[in-house]
Amino acid sequence: MTTYLWEWLNLLGRGVHVITGTAWIGASFYFIWLDNHLQAPADPKDSESGVGGELWAVHGGGFYHAQKYRAGPPAMPAHLHWFKWEAYTTLLSGLFLLGVVYYAQAATMLVDPAVNAFSPAGAIAASVAWIMGGFVVYEGLCRSPLGRNDRALALVLAVLTAGAAYGLCHVFPGRAAFLHFGAMLGTIMVLNVFAVIIPGQKALVAAAAAGQPVDPKYGKNGKQRSVHNTYFTLPAVFAMISNHYAWIFGAPNNWIWLIVVSAAGALIRVWFVQRHRGKPSPWPLVGAALLLAVTAWGLRPQVSGASTTSAARAQAIVAERCVTCHATTPRFEGLTAAPKGVMLETPGLLAANAANVRIQLASRAMPPGNLTNLTDAERAELIAWIDARGPDGR
């Protein structure tokens, strides 16, 4: 029953995280698009009243007229919508999931003797330190003299972000490392909203309500953080969904591929921002495509040599090291069903799942934390046995 309740917490937390994250990213992308498509007001009276740009749109059977004021409207509206709770709820639900999936199972999800020697408590402490430390370093740079030079700051942030990818992949198992990379970026993005963008908007509203001029630093700082959030978004999303793909998070030198795919995501976003402003250069997309092609080539399966392992020997290894969990009735404490429905207790089931088993073995994603003590020799035997029989293991 306890496991069942944890699964429900996982499902509910993940549902909230996906929904609010979609709402937040969607709103962010929409306003970037909107800002880059505003046109000068058609009515001179609008321009005289402070409107700096407008846009007409049609959606869902209705017409919409959006206007952006250069400073503030002549009179503050009775109802003003703030785009902040989407970001805050995304962070809170993400932290909830981190606790349910990673902290409650730290011994298997955050600890791997092949990567680190943490105790579960030590691994959790390292997790918190990485996520919050990333924001502290980022915030310090933005508030330093370097923060006044956007290009220099962007270059330094790119180098440090790559360094974080390297460090995380040498501190945590691959799945957890990629997840923490995304969590670090996501936390920076949400705290940008909380600590800089929303306070600046509050100052803007207060000045407009009092009929006073607005300090331009609020707009400048908010714009800088919004730009950073834009380019962090796709790398963060990739890192969050990568836990489904062991062939990349569990690859040798996985930090390289984390950096490369993140760079491709940032370049894709560059192209879209340029497209919103007019005719974009094709080079950001070309660069992103090349980076993804290099990743696909670099991660291609390497077929092993001839195998002398018999089917009986392969099944015996799987029975000892894998069937504890991957069975109709798992024996591993806390499991009520085989993970992802993958069962390996018969030769037919092993053959049917051979391609997926190979990925998990080659990436070292399974067993998690090598809980069943699968040896490197056994791992190599199974991989060679599958390769010798083709992708279906027959």
> Does residue 158 lie in a domain region?
yes
Same domain, yes or no: 257 and 367: no
Residue 149 has pLDDT above 50, yes or no: yes
Q: Note down the domain range covering 377.
A: 311-388
Mean pLDDT within 293-319: 85
Same domain, yes or no: 264 and 125: yes
> Does residue 230 lie in a domain region?
yes
Percent of the chain past pLDDT 90, that is, above it, reads 55
Out of 246, 264, 298, pick the residue that ends a domain.
298
Out of 256, 271, 298, pick the residue that ends a domain.
298
| Residue 374 CB contacts under 8 Å (≥ 6 apart), including other chains | 317, 321, 322, 367
Residue 44 has pLDDT above 50, yes or no: yes
Same domain, yes or no: 91 and 236: yes
More confident residue, 179 or 220: 179
pLDDT tens column, 202-235: 988 888 888 888 788 888 899 899 999 999 999 9
Residue 150 has pLDDT above 60, yes or no: yes
Mean pLDDT within 77-102: 94
pLDDT tens column, 233-281: 999 999 999 988 989 998 999 999 999 999 999 999 999 999 988 889 9
Same domain, yes or no: 237 and 347: no
| Residue 293 CB contacts under 8 Å (≥ 6 apart), including other chains | none
The domain total for the chain is: 2
User: Sorting pLDDT into bands at 50, 70 and 90, what band is 391?
Assistant: low
Same domain, yes or no: 362 and 316: yes
**pTM value > 0.85:** yes
Distance between CA atoms of residues 262 and 268, nearest Å: 10
List residues bridging with 69 in a β-sheet: 51
pLDDT tens column, 338-387: 888 888 888 888 888 888 888 888 877 788 877 788 888 888 888 888 88
> Does residue 174 lie in a domain region?
yes
Same domain, yes or no: 16 and 148: yes
- Closest of 260, 95, 263, 259 to residue 181, by C-alpha: 259
> Does residue 56 lie in a domain region?
no
Same domain, yes or no: 351 and 241: no
**Residue pointed to by tokens 């980022």:** 138
Q: Which two tokens stand for residue 358?
A: 């190979």
pLDDT of res. 292: 97
Out of 298, 327, 348, pick the residue that ends a domain.
298
pLDDT tens column, 191-205: 999 999 999 999 888
More confident residue, 305 or 283: 283
Q: Which two tokens stand for residue 120?
A: 């579960």
pLDDT of res. 329: 84
> Does residue 59 lie in a domain region?
no
User: Could you give the angle at the alpha carbon of 289 between the alpha carbons of 364 and 260, nearest 5°?
Assistant: 40
pLDDT tens column, 329-346: 888 777 778 888 888 888
> Does residue 44 lie in a domain region?
no
Same domain, yes or no: 355 and 226: no
pLDDT of res. 305: 66
Classify residue 333 by burial, with Cβ atoms within 10 Å: 0-12, 13-18, 19+: exposed
Mean pLDDT within 144-173: 96
Distance between CA atoms of residues 99 and 107, nearest Å: 13
Same domain, yes or no: 164 and 186: yes
User: Sorting pLDDT into bands at 50, 70 and 90, what band is 393?
Assistant: very low
Distance between CA atoms of residues 172 and 362, nearest Å: 18
> Does residue 394 lie in a domain region?
no
Region of 246 on the Ramachandran plot (φ > 0 left; ψ -120 to 50 alpha; else beta): alpha
Same domain, yes or no: 263 and 323: no
More confident residue, 337 or 105: 105
Mean pLDDT within 75-97: 93
Same domain, yes or no: 294 and 315: no
> Does residue 163 lie in a domain region?
yes
Same domain, yes or no: 316 and 290: no
Mean pLDDT within 7-13: 91
